[in-house]
Amino acid sequence: MSTSGRIADVLPAVRGAVEDLGSVAVPTTERDRERRRIAALCAPFAVLLVVAGVYPLLEVVRISVSVERFETVGFTLSAYRTLVTDPYYRRVAFNTLWFAALTTLVSVALAVPIAHALEKYDLPGEGLFVTLVSFPISLPGIVAAFMMLVLFGNNGVLTNVVATFAGANPTDVAVAVSVPGLFLAFVYSMVPRATLILRGTYAEVEEAAEEAAQALGATPLQTFRYVTFPQIRPGITGALILTFRTGLAIFGTLIVIQTLLVWTLQLDRELSAGAFPVAGAMATVYFVFVFGFTALGLRYTSAEVGL
């Protein structure tokens, strides 16, 4: 296509964009005024997104391809090559994925009955129950890990109870500083997030359809399988995606319980060691993976979740 042809194609779009901007700046219809209100409401976040999101991210990408360690100069993909070819990083990636996946599955599996109970029944002390379930959301990961130590560490309450009954040495039964301990800390942090999403989904379940199924002879379990579950499936998929993302992002807990080398912990180590290009590459890969994973999840499922 000739240059003039390409310009001819682009011109109407440019003209349209300019007209749109003009109509937002000087609205003449109610739709224009509505768009101006939307622009005004979103402007602060848009500024924040550019200043604190897009720009730093671009800088991180730039650092990841820098030839020099402490200077962003030149272009090389050696940091990415290291991530792909070095077995150490591959193991970190593998640890990250299986651990996040497993904790996600368990968290969502626990969240489904919790959401079911909260949305379907009038529970005694429901307010307290909701508070307890949602409490970990506002708890820093580092505190969650500390709580694990209090419970399951060498001097932990439950460790000592188990040791007493088993006639064993507490240090032999302590699980806090182990993969199972880390697993519990992760799940503790992730269940509330999954529950929150699933409660929203449960609230939209058509109760009349469930009652129709029951009237037609379906047991409560069959009603869940044939009627409730298909309705909450998009919510479960959404909960899986978001909880998995949470699992990938957890860092505070890992600072205390460093029993499994995962991506965020290794990233911290790279930064501490001043290996900025590798750290930049790890951050970029992380971002691309999470973004791509969520986009694919949205593309191929009916998950009720946004990017």
Partner 1 sequence: MARVTIDSVRKVYDDTVAVENVSLTVPDGEILGLLGPSGCGKTTTLRTVAGFETPTEGTVAFDDEDVTHVPPEDRNIGLVFQTYALFDNMTVGENVAFGLKMRGVDPAKRRARAEELLELLGIGGLSDRDPQTLSGGQQQRVGLARALAIEPRVLLLDEPMTGLDAKLKRRLRNELGELLDELGVTALYVTHDQAEAMSMCDRIAVMNDGHVEQVGTPREVYERPANAFVADFVGTANVLDGVVSDGTLDLGFERVPAAGAPEGPATVVARPEAFRADSDGEIPVAVTERTYQGDHVRATVTLPDETAVTLRLDPATLTDDENVRLTLDPTALHVTDVDVEADSDGAVIPN
Nearer to partner 1, 210 or 270 (CB): 210
- Options 123, 212, 249, 255; binder of partner 1; rule CB under 8 A: 212
Nearer to partner 1, 213 or 239 (CB): 213
Q: Considering only 16-24, 94-102, 189-197, 221-229, which stretch makes contact with partner 1 by CB under 8 A?
A: 221-229
Determine if 216 is a binding residue for partner 1 (CB under 8 A): yes
Determine if 124 is a binding residue for partner 1 (CB under 8 A): no
Q: Which amino acid appears at position 291 of this protein?
A: F
Determine if 301 is a binding residue for partner 1 (CB under 8 A): no
Q: Considering only 9-17, 24-32, 207-215, 284-292, which stretch makes contact with partner 1 by CB under 8 A?
A: 207-215
Determine if 217 is a binding residue for partner 1 (CB under 8 A): yes
- Options 23, 160, 231, 258; binder of partner 1; rule CB under 8 A: 231
Determine if 222 is a binding residue for partner 1 (CB under 8 A): yes
Distance CA 62, CA 284 (A): 10
Determine if 204 is a binding residue for partner 1 (CB under 8 A): no
> Under the rule (CB under 8 A), what is the footprint of partner 1?
206, 208-209, 211-219, 222, 226-227, 230-231
